[in-house]
């Protein structure tokens, strides 16, 4: 099975949509080619077609410039507060790039063709009237897909900020020390040594953003065992700030215990609170989309961090429609078993004499189960 196939069939891949791949632009190019073919098959002379095309371009670009003028009427009142008193900066923010102006000039030259005498002046005024009517009635509003793509590509929305804050303010501090903390606590709890393959911070990412403060209340098969050794830093003016994680025991249907360092992704509480607050104007669909973006952003950040490699596992999930008392423990056990399989496959394929450093580099640090050989059926 190939890596792509495995990724698509994994639970997280089915829950989290991948970023858009620019297929809309490709579709526009294909439709443009189809239009050229249709126009060619009509057998009309090239010049009249080019003339009408320039007229349409002029009307469209005229609409863009009129929209800029309307924006300018608002921004002139924010010249100092938003644009630092720079008139040029304000104009650049309101009007499109220069190539729009070039298209307008080309279209206007065809629109006001001297061969047509002066008959196009009313047409130009009519084009302005139609464009202004569209702007006044707000008929040119962006679609939901366009807004979603803009927020994803700009990387300046709530989810991106929360993911980076979570990484810089917490994960980047605790993850590099996790193995060391596990070694220390395993001296008191020898059973941990039998589960080295799961010595990771397992981060739960519920897509509904509803987080339990007490994991033992969420699922009775999850039992608190101990706290890991604390990490103490002086940070942001706070003396001896404490960072710590909790170690749990997950029991399966045979009551067999499996140790696991476990916690929820706390920034999701912010998304949930925003959805409950009228001031945030954050609906359920927006919350879900932000949860997707949070997961993808955090996955990409951690995936590019060398110091955090092999120390975490993201567990994204959606609550079942019908309540299941042991859904969460079952999901965590599945991930623990998956890590054990990955570890076993790595050891099976390593040549004799391979050191532990090389071994740790080949273990998947993602929450998505990845095959380690591409030639497996």
Q: How confident is the model at residue 123, as a pLDDT? A: 65
**How many Cβ atoms from other residues are within 10 Å of residue 144's Cβ?**
10
Q: Write out pLDDT tens, residues 311-345.
A: 999 999 988 888 788 899 999 999 988 887 776 55
Question: Is residue 220 within 8 Å of 250, Cβ to Cβ?
Answer: no
How buried is 189 (Cβ within 10 angstroms: 0-12 exposed, 13-18 middle, 19+ buried)?
middle
What does the H/E/C string look like for 198-227? HCCEEEEEECCCCCCCCHHHHCCCEEEEEE
Residue of 186, 324, 314 whose CA lies nearest to 259: 186
Q: Write out pLDDT tens, residues 247-269.
A: 999 988 888 889 999 999 999 99
Q: In whole angstroms, what is the distance from residue 302 CA to residue 297 CA?
A: 9
Residue 360 binned pLDDT confidence (cut-offs 50, 70, 90): very low
Range 150-165 average pLDDT:
79
Range 131-151 average pLDDT:
75
Higher pLDDT, 318 or 53: 318
Residue of 344, 292, 299 whose CA lies nearest to 164: 299
Q: Which of 48-52, 183-187, 236-240, 318-322 has the lowest mean pLDDT?
A: 48-52
Question: Is residue 227 within 8 Å of 220, Cβ to Cβ?
Answer: no
Residue 149 clears pLDDT 50, i.e. is over it? yes
Q: Which of 18-22, 33-37, 99-103, 292-296 has the lowest mean pLDDT?
A: 99-103
Q: Write out pLDDT tens, residues 207-260.
A: 999 899 999 999 999 999 999 999 888 888 889 999 999 999 998 888 888 999
Q: Which of 49-58, 66-75, 267-276, 331-340 has the lowest mean pLDDT?
A: 49-58
Residue 155 clears pLDDT 50, i.e. is over it? yes
Residue 362 clears pLDDT 70, i.e. is over it? no
CA angle 206, 269, 287 (to 5 degrees): 65
Domains and their CATH numbers in the chain? 44-141 (no CATH), 156-362 (3.40.50.12100)
User: Could you tell me what percent of the chain has a pLDDT over 90?
Assistant: 26
Range 7-35 average pLDDT:
71
CA-based end-to-end distance of the chain: 5
Q: In whole angstroms, what is the distance from residue 297 CA to residue 161 CA?
A: 9
Taking the model in full, what pTM does it have? Answer: 0.67
Residue 33 clears pLDDT 70, i.e. is over it? yes
Range 191-200 average pLDDT:
85
Residue 270 clears pLDDT 60, i.e. is over it? yes
Range 286-301 average pLDDT:
90
Structure tokens at 26: 């490709």
Q: How confident is the model at residue 297, as a pLDDT? A: 92
Residue 338: which region, alpha, beta or left (left: phi > 0; alpha: psi -120 to 50)? alpha
Question: Is residue 83 within 8 Å of 44, Cβ to Cβ?
Answer: no
Average pLDDT, rounded, for the chain: 77
Helix, strand or coil, per DSSP, at residue 264: strand
Higher pLDDT, 58 or 307: 307
**How many Cβ atoms from other residues are within 10 Å of residue 46's Cβ?**
9
Residue 164 binned pLDDT confidence (cut-offs 50, 70, 90): very high
């Amino acid at each position: 099975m190939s890596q792509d196939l495995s990724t698509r069939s994994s639970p997280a891949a089915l829950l989290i949509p991948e970023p858009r791949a620019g297929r809309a632009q490709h579709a526009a190019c294909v439709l443009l080619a189809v239009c050229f073919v249709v126009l060619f098959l009509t057998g009309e002379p090239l010049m009249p077609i080019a003339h009408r095309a320039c007229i349409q371009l002029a009307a469209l670009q005229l609409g863009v410039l009129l929209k800029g003028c309307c924006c300018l009427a608002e921004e002139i009142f924010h010249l100092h507060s938003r644009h630092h008193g720079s008139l040029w900066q304000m104009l650049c923010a309101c009007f499109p790039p220069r190539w729009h102006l070039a298209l307008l000039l080309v279209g206007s030259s065809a629109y006001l063709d001297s061969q047509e005498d002066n008959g196009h002046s009313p047409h130009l005024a009519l084009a302005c009237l139609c464009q202004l009517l569209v702007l006044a009635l707000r008929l040119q509003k962006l679609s939901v897909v366009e807004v979603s793509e803009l927020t994803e590509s700009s990387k300046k929305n709530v989810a991106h900020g929360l993911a980076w804050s979570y990484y810089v303010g917490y994960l980047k501090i605790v993850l590099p020390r996790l193995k060391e903390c596990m070694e220390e606590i395993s001296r008191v709890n020898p059973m941990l040594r039998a589960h080295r393959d799961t010595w990771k911070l397992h981060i739960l990412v519920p897509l509904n953003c509803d987080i339990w403060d007490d994991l033992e209340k969420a699922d009775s098969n999850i039992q608190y065992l101990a706290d890991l050794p604390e990490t103490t830093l002086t940070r942001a003016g706070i003396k001896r700030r404490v960072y710590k994680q909790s170690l749990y025991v997950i029991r399966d249907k045979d009551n067999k215990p499996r140790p696991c360092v476990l916690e929820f992704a706390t920034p999701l509480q912010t998304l949930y609170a925003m959805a409950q607050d009228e001031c945030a104007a954050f609906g359920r669909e927006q919350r879900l989309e932000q949860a997707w973006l949070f997961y993808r952003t955090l996955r990409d950040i951690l995936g590019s961090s060398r110091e955090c490699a092999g120390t975490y596992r993201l567990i994204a999930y959606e609550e079942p429609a019908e309540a299941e008392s042991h859904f969460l423990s079952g999901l965590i056990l599945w991930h623990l078993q998956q890590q054990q399989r990955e570890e076993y496959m790595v050891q099976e394929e390593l040549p004799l004499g391979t050191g532990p450093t090389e071994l740790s580099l080949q273990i998947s640090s993602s929450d998505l189960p990845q095959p380690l050989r591409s030639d497996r059926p």
